[in-house]
Chains A and B, each alone.
Chain A
Amino acid sequence: DVKVTQSSRYLVKRTGEKVFLECVQDMDHENMFWYRQDPGLGLRLIYFSYDVKMKEKGDIPEGYSVSREKKERFSLILESASTNQTSMYLCASSPLALGPPLFGEGSRLTVL
């Protein structure tokens, strides 16, 4: 089964901690995305990557950074977590031919 795997389904962190959210895909997709989903706000794009070491800001990049050292792995980094970053984080990947993205199961992050 092809899939996108987010390593942590649930995380609880303290304010100021550095947080890593990992996403791995096994489909050799060029594009990878990080979204956050909040009630009433829907899905918002944080960052996306269209190739190894290539990245582009989405709609809400502030407070986040990303890393893509290998094609299959796309990491979202919260340098200093804050309570307003409590959210559901969704990773997705898609092929270069603009096919539909495949989503992971999500990582629910709580920052106390």
Chain B
Amino acid sequence: QQQVKQSPQSLIVQKGGISIINCAYENTAFDYFPWYQQFPGKGPALLIAIRPDVSEKKEGRFTISFNKSAKQFSLHIMDSQPGDSATYFCAASGGFKTIFGAGTRLFVKA
């Protein structure tokens, strides 16, 4: 019940393309769903987050789509750039608990 399943494990996208990363959770008590971006040798940085009262949130080229009934959420990166190449973690948070997905390594080809 505490797992957050993230896919794909790795992703290669052409520059200008759309990168899509998916996550699924089990515990309906989660009420905060962030995405973190991590570059090698650095700590994760909060990218964008959503709460279950909305189905979509957009910030620049980054969009979270949230499907409460399916208990799934996804990150879309529009117009992907080589600088977006990093590892992305989804997470689900409820109370003082945050569960992280396994991560997706994104590589954007120039």
A is bound by B: no
Chain A residues near B (Cβ < 8 Å): none
